[in-house]
């Protein structure tokens, strides 16, 4: 029920409150005794540290505003500061509580407006310079320990530190007509290089051409290329993933991989690599994942490599489902 | 910093241009999209700044298996052993301590170390078409606009990875699954009906030999050249390009990506010879050829009637297909950079309806899966109560789930893009990624 008459009445009431306050100056509001209870009961539900509500939903502070710590209360929200010490008329923490009840900006958004007495406490506290006493409030650390980045992002961030992206001209010459580079980090300084649809064009010269990009190549996809060796592969100090699947790269060629200090993942799926080549791989300091399906490596060779590198994840053959028709489970559900 | 080329693409999509008409014609006639072949992608992706807003991709491609109809979470990925809500369904352990699944998933149970189960999915759409559309686009279905699904966003923001193949393929979809929305037809999913039939009408017609075909194309070019010389027009050139691209694909090695005959019989058997198995195998072939986003739609999960008998029939082929897909991708080293998603529009009620022995729609708690592509395997996110009725922790809205997929694929979820009519949209409708599911 809103009407001009009601608004006028409210305005009069607000004016009366103001006048009353001027007539008989009240003592300064104490933050912990007078202000905090109002904030706790009427503001914190929306303006406090992120939390999970009873339904498991993460609730972030509305408008980016938190009132539960001194530091963040003074910092304000998305719209800027909400408290200007000494000037309640410029402080949204007060002014938005005394708007007409039907104003879309009134705070609190839910429930009844603050009582005139409550609004007056806020006003007097701000007018007195917004003293907090020794209150500092909740810790300003964000509550739930949510990892900001994945392990992979952390790794790439480290590798990309202080690395400027390559120049466009360098990219053009290094990639030739068929190479494709995609950025792996924000600035484009680490790249994933592949030759989609033109794998057959990749030869020693194409690998050698990558030289000027050597600092930037973190992932290199050479799957299904006709390569038989890695002559021409420049030293790639930041190469993390290398896919040589379905190439003819052999044991001797793997020696070139010793120049790859950051190599973590290597696919030799469908290559003629044998157990002899695995000995070279044991020397790769950072290697974590090795794929050997359909290669010439054997279980015995893999066992030897595992003994030397127990933490290495090696896939020699996938555990594929049986090719027999699906088996029925012994415990069949019965109709109720 | 809004991606300029995307914006241009959107602006151009306001009205279907002649170029788009040509593109659609090529799609219809040849089953290919003409536009992704345009040579914009290289320069754009190499610039590095256009596609990112602080997002490091953990996956370069995705296989999105969509279980149309609403998969019963209780009978599959969020079982409640001993509770009467389970009815006759038994549970089995997996290769991850503490994770149990329904009894008809024994093969997938052995791959759970690669899978993150999200048990706290939440939707507010309880009808199939609305729910399916919501799950795909993060926006509610409404009459005034069509929203893009993730595959279309991915193609438009990160570009096509393979210059001769479309960036987005859907196997067995319908009008409420993969959407191109307002993004322009070049990002629309290429529809494949039957995985075993592959891409239709991409070969020369019977009775036309190579020489005849070349002669006809040359004749066409001569006529076009004369026309273009006389009436020089950009639109005429667009026709030329569409033909050239289509002919390029016809002669491309990558056309074999669509041919399941290239796979060994043993591997085809391992995926299962049912449609879902062969569709998952085709999806693996396509992502291996750098198609960015492949959706496999599998129906039949709307088990209002005889829930347990229906699942006994439908789950084993799905179990086999998903288990084979994960094992196969992993053994090739592709799982590290391929995100596998299993999604559905909602779960099903803990109450077993008496007359029909089935379960009804239950959007307020259900389960989806994520695997590969930077996802933490052997992990469960969120939980439901003792009957699987309400979420008790870690609620993930549909928008949050899609924001998680988008983040893995390097799409900025906070960036605002404008439709041709100027309305603001975000990739996952303001959803925020669930950071905990990343390794």
In this predicted model, what pLDDT tens digit does every residue of A102-130 receive, in sequence order? 888 889 888 888 998 889 998 999 998 88
Closest partner residue to A331 (CB to CB) among B60, B103, B337 is B103
Closest partner residue to B357 (CB to CB) among A265, A323, A336 is A336
* Residues in A 298-327 with any Cβ partner in B closer than 8 A: 315, 317-323, 326-327
User: CA A298, CA B207: separation in Å to the nearest integer?
Assistant: 49
Q: What pLDDT does residue B234 have?
A: 62
User: CA B187, CA B27: separation in Å to the nearest integer?
Assistant: 11
Which residues are bridge partners to A182 per DSSP?
A192
Shortest Cα distance, chain A CAs vs residue B357, angstroms:
7
Which residues are bridge partners to B191 per DSSP?
B170
Select the more confidently predicted residue: A16 or A161: A161
Q: What is the count of residue pairs from A and B with beta carbons less than 8 Å apart?
A: 183
Cis peptide preceding A49, ω within 30 of 0 = no
Which residues are bridge partners to B298 per DSSP?
B67
Closest partner residue to A180 (CB to CB) among B42, B312, B382 is B42
Residues of chain B with CATH 3.40.720.10: 61-199+264-437
- Summarize the confidence of residues A146-162 as an average pLDDT: 75
| CA proximity to A153, closest of B208, B179, B278, B56 | B56
Give me chain A's average pLDDT, please.
83
- A187 contact residues in B (CB cutoff 8 A): 48-49
User: CA B286, CA B311: separation in Å to the nearest integer?
Assistant: 29
User: CA B201, CA B188: separation in Å to the nearest integer?
Assistant: 18
- Is residue A11 scored above 70 in pLDDT? no
- Which of A10-19, A178-187, B311-320 bottoms out in mean pLDDT, i.e. has the lowest? A10-19
Shortest Cα distance, chain A CAs vs residue B238, angstroms:
22
Q: What pLDDT does residue A252 have?
A: 95
Select the more confidently predicted residue: A333 or A136: A136
| CA proximity to A248, closest of A200, A211, A281 | A200
Q: What pLDDT does residue B427 have?
A: 95
Reading the block at residue A199, the tokens are: 């794998």
User: CA B103, CA B90: separation in Å to the nearest integer?
Assistant: 5
* CA A14 from centroid of its chain's CA atoms: 47
Which residues are bridge partners to B296 per DSSP?
B65, B171
What are the E-state strand segments in chain A? Answer: 51-52, 58-59, 180-183, 191-194, 217-221, 241-243, 265-267, 289-291, 313-315
- Nearest residue of chain A to residue B305 (CA atoms): A335
Asked if B333 and A265 come within 8 Å (Cβ–Cβ), the reply is: yes
What number of other Cβ atoms are within 10 A of residue A105's Cβ?
10
- Summarize the confidence of residues A297-326 as an average pLDDT: 86
**A171 and chain B in contact, CB less than 8 A:** yes
Closest partner residue to B252 (CB to CB) among A197, A267, A321 is A197
Shortest Cα distance, chain A CAs vs residue B332, angstroms:
6
The ipTM is 0.79
Closest partner residue to A323 (CB to CB) among B110, B266, B336 is B266
pLDDT level of residue A56 (50, 70, 90 thresholds): low
- Is residue A243 scored above 50 in pLDDT? yes
- Is residue A148 scored above 80 in pLDDT? no
Q: Please state, for a pLDDT cut of 90, what percent of chain A lies above it.
A: 41
- Summarize the confidence of residues A90-107 as an average pLDDT: 87
- Is residue A14 scored above 60 in pLDDT? no
Q: What pLDDT does residue A281 have?
A: 94
- B378 contact residues in A (CB cutoff 8 A): none
- Nearest residue of chain A to residue B256 (CA atoms): A197
Q: What pLDDT does residue A330 have?
A: 45
- Is residue A94 scored above 60 in pLDDT? yes
For an interface test with A, give the residue of B61, B254, B332 to mutate (most A CBs within 10 A). B332
Positions in chain B short of pLDDT 50 = 1-54
CATH, domain B61-199+264-437, list 3.10.20.30, 3.40.720.10, 1.20.210.10, 3.10.20.600? 3.40.720.10
- Nearest residue of chain B to residue A153 (CA atoms): B56
- Nearest residue of chain B to residue A148 (CA atoms): B435
Closest partner residue to A331 (CB to CB) among B90, B336, B439 is B90
Residues B149-172: pLDDT tens digits? Answer: 999 999 998 888 888 888 899 999
Give every CB contact of residue A47 below 8 A, 6+ residues apart in sequence: A61, A62, A63, A65, A66, A67, A68, A77
Asked if B162 and A196 come within 8 Å (Cβ–Cβ), the reply is: yes
Q: What pLDDT does residue B55 have?
A: 65
- Strongest mean pLDDT among A85-89, A154-158, B46-50, B80-84: B80-84
- Nearest residue of chain A to residue B268 (CA atoms): A323
User: CA A115, CA A101: separation in Å to the nearest integer?
Assistant: 11
For an interface test with B, give the residue of A181, A218, A320, A331 to mutate (most B CBs within 10 A). A320
**A102 and chain B in contact, CB less than 8 A:** no
- Nearest residue of chain A to residue B317 (CA atoms): A326
Asked if B439 and A151 come within 8 Å (Cβ–Cβ), the reply is: yes
- Provide the CB-side half-sphere exposure for A63 (13 A, CA): 23
Asked if B332 and A336 come within 8 Å (Cβ–Cβ), the reply is: no
**A143 and chain B in contact, CB less than 8 A:** no
Q: What pLDDT does residue B26 have?
A: 43
* CA A169 from centroid of its chain's CA atoms: 32
Shortest Cα distance, chain B CAs vs residue A160, angstroms:
12
Q: What pLDDT does residue A323 have?
A: 46
Asked if A320 and B327 come within 8 Å (Cβ–Cβ), the reply is: yes
Cβ pair A267, A243 in contact under 8 A: yes
Asked if B333 and A269 come within 8 Å (Cβ–Cβ), the reply is: yes
What burial letters (b/e) apply to A269-299, b meaning 16+ CB within 10 Å? bbbbbebebbebbeebeebebbbbbbbbbee
Shortest Cα distance, chain A CAs vs residue B164, angstroms:
7
Q: What pLDDT does residue A1 have?
A: 43
* Residues in A 235-254 with any Cβ partner in B closer than 8 A: 241, 243, 245
Asked if A152 and B324 come within 8 Å (Cβ–Cβ), the reply is: no
- Nearest residue of chain B to residue A242 (CA atoms): B333
Query: How far apart, in Å, are the Cα atoms of A76 and each of A47, A83, A135, B109?
Result: 11, 7, 17, 50
For an interface test with A, give the residue of B43, B44, B47, B56 to mutate (most A CBs within 10 A). B56
Asked if A196 and B41 come within 8 Å (Cβ–Cβ), the reply is: no
- Is residue A19 scored above 60 in pLDDT? no
User: CA B55, CA B64: separation in Å to the nearest integer?
Assistant: 21
Shortest Cα distance, chain B CAs vs residue A40, angstroms:
25
Tell me the three state secondary structure of residue B237. Answer: helix
Determine if residue A194 is left, alpha or beta; phi over 0 gives left, psi from -120 to 50 gives alpha, anything else beta: beta
Asked if B394 and A180 come within 8 Å (Cβ–Cβ), the reply is: no
Reading the block at residue A56, the tokens are: 């498991």
- Nearest residue of chain A to residue B292 (CA atoms): A196
For an interface test with B, give the residue of A290, A295, A317, A321 to mutate (most B CBs within 10 A). A321
Q: What pLDDT does residue B411 have?
A: 92
What are the E-state strand segments in B138-218? Answer: 168-171, 190-192
Asked if B332 and A291 come within 8 Å (Cβ–Cβ), the reply is: yes
- A192 contact residues in B (CB cutoff 8 A): 60
Determine if residue A292 is left, alpha or beta; phi over 0 gives left, psi from -120 to 50 gives alpha, anything else beta: alpha
User: CA B205, CA B200: separation in Å to the nearest integer?
Assistant: 11
Tell me the three state secondary structure of residue A255. Answer: helix
């Amino acid at each position: 029920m809103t009407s001009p008459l009601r608004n006028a009445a409210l305005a009069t009431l607000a004016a009366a409150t103001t006048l009353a306050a001027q007539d008989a100056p009240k003592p300064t509001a104490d933050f912990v005794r007078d202000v905090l209870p109002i904030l706790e009961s009427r503001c914190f539900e929306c303006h406090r540290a992120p939390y999970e509500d009873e339904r498991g939903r993460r609730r972030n502070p509305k408008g980016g505003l938190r009132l539960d710590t001194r530091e963040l209360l003074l910092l304000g929200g998305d719209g800027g500061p909400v408290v200007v010490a000494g000037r309640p008329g410029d402080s949204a923490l007060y002014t938005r509580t005394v708007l007409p009840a039907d104003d879309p900006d009134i705070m609190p958004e839910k429930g009844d407006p603050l009582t005139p007495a409550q609004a007056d406490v806020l006003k007097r506290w701000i007018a007195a310079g917004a003293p907090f006493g020794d209150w500092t409030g909740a810790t300003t650390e964000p509550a739930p320990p949510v990892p900001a980045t994945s392990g992979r992002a952390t790794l790439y961030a480290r590798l990309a530190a202080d690395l400027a992206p390559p120049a466009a001209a360098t990219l053009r010459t290094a990639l030739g007509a068929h190479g494709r580079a995609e950025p792996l980090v924000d600035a484009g300084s680490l790249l994933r290089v592949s030759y989609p649809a033109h794998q057959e064009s990749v030869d020693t010269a194409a690998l050698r051409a990558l030289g000027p990009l050597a600092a930037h190549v973190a992932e290199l996809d050479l799957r299904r290329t006709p390569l038989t060796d890695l002559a021409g592969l420049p030293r790639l100090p930041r190469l993390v993933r290398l896919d040589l699947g379905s190439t003819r790269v052999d044991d001797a060629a793997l020696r070139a991989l010793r120049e790859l200090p950051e190599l973590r993942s290597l696919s030799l799926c469908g290559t003629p690599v044998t157990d002899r080549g695995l000995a070279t791989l044991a020397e790769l300091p950072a290697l974590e994942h090795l794929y050997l399906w359909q290669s010439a490596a054997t279980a015995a060779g893999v066992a030897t490599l595992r003994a030397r590198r127990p933490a290495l994840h090696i896939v020699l053959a996938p555990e594929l489902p049986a090719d027999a028709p699906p088996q029925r489970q012994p415990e069949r559900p019965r109709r109720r | 910093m809004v991606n300029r080329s995307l914006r241009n693409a959107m602006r151009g999509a306001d009205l279907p241009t002649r170029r788009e008409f040509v593109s659609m014609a090529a799609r219809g006639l040849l089953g290919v999209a003409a536009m992704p072949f345009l040579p914009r992608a290289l320069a754009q992706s190499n610039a590095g700044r256009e596609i990112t807003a602080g997002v490091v991709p953990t996956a370069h491609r995705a296989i999105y298996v969509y279980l149309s109809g609403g998969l019963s979470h209780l009978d599959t990925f969020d079982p409640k052993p001993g509770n009467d809500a389970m009815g006759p369904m038994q549970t089995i352990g997996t290769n991850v301590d503490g994770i149990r699944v329904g009894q008809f998933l024994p093969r997938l149970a052995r791959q759970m170390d690669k899978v993150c189960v999200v048990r706290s999915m939440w939707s507010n759409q309880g009808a199939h078409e609305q729910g399916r559309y919501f799950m795909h686009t993060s926006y509610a279905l409404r009459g005034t606009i069509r929203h893009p699904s993730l595959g279309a966003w991915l193609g438009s923001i990160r570009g096509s990875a393979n210059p001769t193949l479309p960036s987005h393929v859907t196997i067995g979809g319908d009008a409420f699954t993969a959407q191109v929305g307002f993004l322009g037809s070049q990002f629309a999913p290429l529809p494949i009906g039957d995985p075993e039939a592959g891409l239709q009408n991409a070969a020369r017609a019977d009775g036309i030999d190579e020489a005849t075909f070349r002669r006809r194309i040359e004749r066409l070019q001569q006529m076009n050249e004369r026309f273009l010389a006389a009436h020089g027009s950009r639109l005429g050139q667009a026709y030329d390009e569409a033909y050239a691209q289509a002919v390029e694909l016809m002669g491309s090695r990558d056309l074999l990506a669509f041919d399941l005959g290239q796979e060994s019989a043993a591997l085809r058997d391992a995926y299962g010879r049912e449609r879902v198995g062969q569709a998952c195998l085709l999806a693996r072939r396509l992502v291996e050829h750098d198609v960015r986003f492949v959706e496999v739609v599998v129906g039949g999960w709307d088990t209002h009637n005889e829930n347990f008998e229906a699942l006994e029939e439908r789950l084993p082929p799905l179990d086999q297909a998903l288990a084979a897909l994960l094992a196969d991708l992993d053994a090739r080293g592709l799982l590290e950079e391929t995100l596998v998603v299993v999604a559905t529009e909602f779960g099903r009620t803990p109450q077993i309806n008496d007359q029909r022995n089935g379960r009804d729609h239950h959007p307020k708690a259900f389960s989806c899966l994520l695997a590969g592509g930077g996802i933490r395997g052997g992990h469960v996110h969120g939980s439901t109560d003792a009957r699987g009725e309400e979420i008790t922790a870690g609620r993930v809205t549909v928008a949050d789930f899609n924001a998680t997929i988008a983040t893995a694929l390097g799409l900025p979820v906070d960036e605002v893009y404008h439709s041709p009519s100027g309305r603001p949209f975000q990739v996952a409708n303001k959803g925020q990624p669930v950071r905990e599911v990343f390794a």
